[in-house]
Structure 1
Amino acid sequence: MGTSEKAGAVPANGAAPIQRFYSDRSWIEGAAEEQLTFVAGMAGVSSVAAFPDLHPGKYGPVGSAILADRIYPQLIGNDIGCGMSLYALDLPARKLRLDKAAAKLRQLEGVWTGNAGARLAGEDLPTDLHNQALGTIGGGNHFCELQVIDEVTDGALLEAAALRKGDLVLLVHSGSRSLGTAVFGSVLDRFDGLDPNSPDGKAYRAAHDQAVRWAALNRELIAERAAKALRCDLRIVADAPHNLVEDHAGGILHRKGAARVDQALVPLAGSRDALSYLLAPCREQAEALASLAHGAGRKYDRRSMTGRAGGTRSDRDSLGRTSFGGLVVCEDRQLLIEEAPAAYKDPAQVLKDLQSAGLAAPVAALKPLVTYKKAVSDTLESARQDKRRRLWDRRAKR
């Protein structure tokens, strides 16, 4: 909630305590700190945890967990259930050709043509629940990335997950797409929060829980599409949603860009030109609200990236490759600039802060090989549509 005018909520007397799990070495914007302070003063909020990936969001701080006695839909936003899923692939790294892999992953573009009804029913979801968007990544910071396990810190934990150095893995970041947007749209004006036991609160929670399950299925289908394109099998290693509400300690826990820690391993995503990490959550600290950082976190917002990256043709061309020798599949030039590596913080520093706070320990580093974001240029498609429209108009005038 960047400003009190946007938030519309009336802060209660006495703000909730804020536990900050980051050091002075972390890049934290003043706007994010202001949002933390405001959220801590909102009615019914009892505790706030902030992580080193903290940055300002549209309605509240991203990279935080907030415990309250009511549901604040704005603290979650429209991408309900968004998260990171890591999958192990049985594809030998020695057989991988990056250029061919990048070409194959372009098959992720467009709608999924599988049996959506059957897969939705398998998750106890309505068979027609936004099935046109199922199996698709979406825009923004969502991605599907082919990675290789590079550096190993805890071999025993990695082996327990049936993984080893040199194995190929797939990291998928996506959410509930149009479903989450529809759910959020129904409560967009409820800045005062929802009583979880009221009819409105129960209706939102039911729709929210469906969106969380839908989002997990969506990541699974994206991974299956990628594995099929690469002609290999896959298995789940970890699924860590980071935009959701849950019951916790007698209240409602809101996670916005904060990963759940109820599993052995949790992925921490870097930028497409930085290492990601596989973490082992440490003993739970009550003040951390059963949460962890979900990634590097933004350093600069999307608007300010115009001019910071891709200023020349050679700069734009360089955005399609990484310093690791990896490839980036993204034909949308503006998205390529907005999501440039310079837009993100250093994930290694995020990891250091989590270690120093005793929240997590590194298990392995994951090197990016091919990052898929978008295989069709919105600008190009728009130009094609304009051309077709002009041709149609000329023909109509004849």
Structure 2
Amino acid sequence: MAEATIRIIASPESWIEQAAVDQLHQTARLPGIDKIVGLPDLHAGRGIAVGAAFWSRTHVYPHLVGSDIGCGMALWRGSMPLRKFRLDAAERKLRGLEDPWSGDHAARLADAGLPPMLMGEALGSIGGGNHFAEILRIDDVKDEALFASLGLDAGFIYLMVHSGSRGLGHAILERHLARHNTGALIADKPDCGAYLAEHDDAVRWAILNRAIIADRFFDRLGMSGERMLDICHNSVTAHRCGWLHRKGAAPADKGLVVVPGSRGEMTYIVRPRPDHADASLQSLAHGAGRKWSRSEARDKLARRFSIADLERTKLGSRVICEDRDLIYEEAPQAYKDIHQVIRDLHQAGLIDLVATMRPLITYKTRRA
């Protein structure tokens, strides 16, 4: 059986670990997989490389999407002018966000076309791992005309939310694995249709969750917000008479994309270019990509830095993370160079640079 074609979009200056490349080759041997693209943030995952896209004419593989179906990044422009924003006051106000959301779960779920009892208790929660909410400001406008045409404005604060479908996506994948292990679903068969229906519900749930998280943050900060974009980087979608799986890969066919670095680095706003998009399976890097595993990060950094050290970044931003392990696991040092990732995408002709954003407060979890 022939192995799928693999293309890795990364310059010689980028570090790509061999374990991630090996995982791509393992996936390339799956029945029905035709094309694979690894992006500059490529890194090894739990059996599946993260920062990659996989295309098949006839097969759907739920384990290539993973358990956090619908995970993605959304960006809002806040109504508060940057000149009125006070960092200390904002940090103090961001409390109570681990408590259950007190809004009308059933109504919001129904508005999103979802069953009114679907995982309502988890709505409005960020979750663990690499998920976060971050308050930012525009740092550097790369293309003034493009920036203005997109409705962006450097005079306001912004909120970025990275979260997904929480336990819903996990339950969907576990049900599939119990029936089929990591086997494929044939696209026109009932089992595949049932999975895709659940998958699409999880994507809608994740989009709604990001919106409610934003509502909660803006409520604490005493303002409103306008959503500028929402992109999903864990999904499977119909594409070119086949099925495109993205695992930690942002879509290049849905408009503007945010590509965040670590919590101590810039986030880029980019516009995908159509010229070479087919060569990248209509996908872009979704972030910087991990350099160290979680255990490596804890072991290496706990000896060098205190918790207080990691609550401030080299950019002067604040980090709210009252989980001792998580603050080490998600430290900036554990991630690759976001500027190199963006250079690789730009040199490959995949993006136009719009602006960079500087973090002010990165929020992960607060105990009380």
Q: Does 1:240 align with 2:231?
A: yes
Q: Does 1:152 align with 2:147?
A: no
Per the alignment, residue 272 of structure 1 pairs with 263
CA offset at residue 325 of structure 1? 1.2
Show the 5 A alignment for 1:67-216: 67-68=55-56, 69-188=58-177, 189-216=180-207
Match of 2:364 in 1: 373
2:351 is matched with which residue? Answer: 360
1:16 aligns with 2:4: yes
Answer yes or no: is the 8 Å Cα contact 1:243–1:258 preserved in 2.
yes
Q: List per-residue Cα deviations over 1:81-118 (Å, max 9, x = no partner).
A: 00000110011111212122112222322211100100
Residues 248-302 of structure 1 show CA distances to partners (whole Å, capped at 9, x for unaligned) of: 1111110000011223310001100000100010124312111111111101110
1:197 counterpart SS class = coil
The DSSP-based 3-state class of the residue aligned with 2:192 is helix
What percentage of aligned pairs have identical amino acids?
A: 46
The match for 1:323 among 314, 323, 326 is: 314
After superposition, the Cα gap between the structure-2 partners of 1:166 and 1:299, relative to the gap in structure 1 and judged at 3 Å, is: farther
Runs of at least 5 residues in structure 1 that lack an aligned partner in the other structure: 1-12, 378-398
Q: Which residue of 2 aligns with 1:282?
A: 273
Deviations 1:284-328 (A, max 9, x none): 43121111111111011101112211325x532110011111101
TM value normalised by structure 1 = 0.89
Q: C-alpha separation between the residues in 1 aligned to 2:349 and 2:3?
A: 26
**Secondary structure at the counterpart of residue 306 of structure 2:** helix
The Cα of 1:142 is off from its aligned counterpart by 0.1
Instruction: Report the counterpart of residue 294 of structure 1 in structure 2.
Output: 286
Question: Which structure's CA Rg is the greater one?
Answer: 1
88-97 vs 362-371, which deviates more? 88-97
Amino acid at match of 2:331: A
Show structure 2 runs of 5+ residues with no match: none
Task: Please tell me whether the aligned partners of residues 280 and 362 of structure 1 are also in contact (alpha carbons under 8 angstroms).
Answer: yes
| Aligned residues of 2:270 and 2:351 also touching (Cα < 8 A) | yes
Rounded to whole Å, the distance in 1 between the matches of 2:4 and 2:315 is 44
Q: Distance in 1 between matches of 2:217 and 2:107?
A: 20
Q: Residues 238 and 263 of structure 1 are in contact (CA less than 8 Å); yes or no, is this contact kept in structure 2?
A: no
Q: Does 1:308 align with 2:300?
A: yes
* CA distance, structure 2, for counterparts of residue 29 and residue 46 of structure 1: 23
Shift of 1:164: 2.5
Q: Please report the TM-score for the alignment, with normalisation by the length of structure 2.
A: 0.96
Residues 106, 329 of structure 1: 8 Å contact kept: no
Q: Is the 8 A contact 1:87 1:171 kept in 2?
A: yes
**TM-fit CA distance, 1:166:** 4.0
**Partner amino acid for 1:103?**
R
Number of corresponding residues = 364
SS of alignment partner, residue 297 of structure 1:
coil
- Hey, what does 1:49 align to over in structure 2? 37
Instruction: Give the SS at the match of 2:2.
Output: coil
Moved over 6 A (4+): none
